[in-house]
Amino acid sequence: MEHSNCGDAEAPNVPPGVKYGGSKPQVFGNRAMRPEEKFEFARVVFFGRGLGEYVDMFNLDLNGLKGQRVLDCAGGPAAFAKEAAQAGIEVVACDPMYAETADKLRHVVDSDAAAVTVKQQANPQTLHTNYVSTSERRKSMEIFLQDFAAAPRGRYVSGRLPTLPFDDNSFDFALSANLLFIYSDIASGGMLESSPLDLEFHLRSTTELLRIARKELRLYPLQGANAKGHAYLAPLMDECTAQGHLASVVPVRQRDLVGAESMLRIVKRAL
Ligand SMILES: C[S@@+](CC[C@H](N)C(=O)[O-])C[C@H]1O[C@@H](n2cnc3c(N)ncnc32)[C@H](O)[C@@H]1O
């Protein structure tokens, strides 16, 4: 990690009968936007990125991380754990979907990636022009799918925030990308309809990740699409400060959703 400074937006695969998108029609070009085109979601999607995007989302220094243990939660179908291992970094990825079979995960990845593409194409104004395309990300997800099927011992652990199956201080660092903030409800600054990821969930999840990480926790992004900031950021930072940690918003290199150019870095209080 660099010690000075140490979206996604994805759509769900839409099961029959599930509605997503708000009730008010949006105008897209000269026609009303269909629900599946709106940058809003009915559930958290299973969608992932590669090592390069993790470096950019979290300002990672891969050389500095060699020999460190890193928790990635929610890991999703990201290639980060596999590619980091090749770079000499031990990453354990954790996600509730890892309880599923490799075949099921491949099906969900294909379905969600297709739905994400629809949303991205319908909402170009929400994305930086140089964001990593879904077809590129699909290559990273393929690396994950093959690695998951080979089941390297202990690399992929099924678990669900806000309670994870890891001991106190069992990792040096914890990273959490594209779950907190972005999948809160739309009114708070996220992009999930009727989200269960409320402020209480954010506080409990952050406390849990800080229990497990010995040194530091980083969260990215800090908002959803079309949002100007996030209602949970200040109370979450206040809670971290109250627990004795050092929380700061730090610019990052990642360019995905417009407005999502920072991470939250939480350095744990001295043990
Ligand atoms: C969009 S993916 C992010 C994957 C990866 N971190 C990335 O940025 O490429 C979000 C992931 O959060 C997972 N998820 C949903 N609810 C969760 C929870 N309560 N605890 C942990 N992971 C959760 C989903 O299964 C999904 O894989």
Q: What are the φ/ψ torsions at residue 63 (nearest 5 degrees)?
A: -65, -40
Pocket of ligand 1, candidates 41, 44, 209: which has the most ligand atoms within 8 Å of its Cβ, to mutate? Answer: 44
Q: Report which of residues 250 and 43 the model is more confident about.
A: 250
Q: Report which of residues 24 and 240 the model is more confident about.
A: 240
Peptide bond into 221 cis (omega under 30): yes
pLDDT on residue 32: 61
pLDDT on residue 21: 33
d(CA 48, ligand 1 centre) in Å: 9
Average pLDDT estimate for 250-255: 96
Atom 9 of ligand 1, residue of closest alpha carbon: 48
Pocket of ligand 1, candidates 95, 201, 263: which has the most ligand atoms within 8 Å of its Cβ, to mutate? Answer: 95
Average pLDDT estimate for 191-197: 92
79-134: pLDDT as tens digits: 999 999 999 999 999 999 999 999 999 999 999 999 888 888 888 888 998 999 89
> For the chain, what percent of residues have pLDDT higher than 70?
86
**255: confidence class by pLDDT, cuts 50, 70, 90:** very high
pLDDT on residue 25: 38
| CATH classification number, 27-267, choose in 3.30.2290.10, 3.40.50.11540, 3.40.50.2300, 3.40.50.150 | 3.40.50.150
CA–CA separation, 180 and 201 (whole Å): 9
For the chain, how long is the longest CA-to-CA vector?
A: 59
The 3-class secondary structure across the chain, one letter per residue, is: CCCCCCCCCCCCCCCCCCCCCCCCCCEECCEECCHHHCCCECCCCCCCCCHHHHHHHHCCCHHHHCCCEEEEECCCCCCHHHHHHHCCCEEEEECHHHHCCHHHHHHHHHHHHHHHHHHHHHCHHHECCCCCCHHHHHHHHHHHHHHHHHCCCCCEECCECCECCCCCCCEEEEEEECCCCCCCEHHHCCCECCCCCCHHHHHHHHHHHHHHEEEEEEEECCCCCCCCCCCCHHHHHHHHHHCCCEEEEEECCCCCECCCCEEEEEECCCC
29-65: pLDDT as tens digits: 445 667 677 777 778 999 999 999 999 999 999 999 9
CA–CA separation, 40 and 22 (whole Å): 8
Residues with CB under 6 Å of ligand 1 are 8, 10, 44-49, 73-76, 78, 95-97, 160-161, 177-179
Ligand 1 closest atom vs CA 57: 8
pLDDT on residue 17: 25
Q: How far is CA 107 from CA 37, 64, 183, in A?
A: 21, 36, 22
pLDDT on residue 202: 98
> For the chain, what percent of residues have pLDDT higher than 90?
72
pLDDT on residue 116: 86
- Mean residue pLDDT of the chain comes to 87
Predicted TM-score (pTM) of this structure: 0.88
Atom 17 of ligand 1, residue of closest alpha carbon: 160
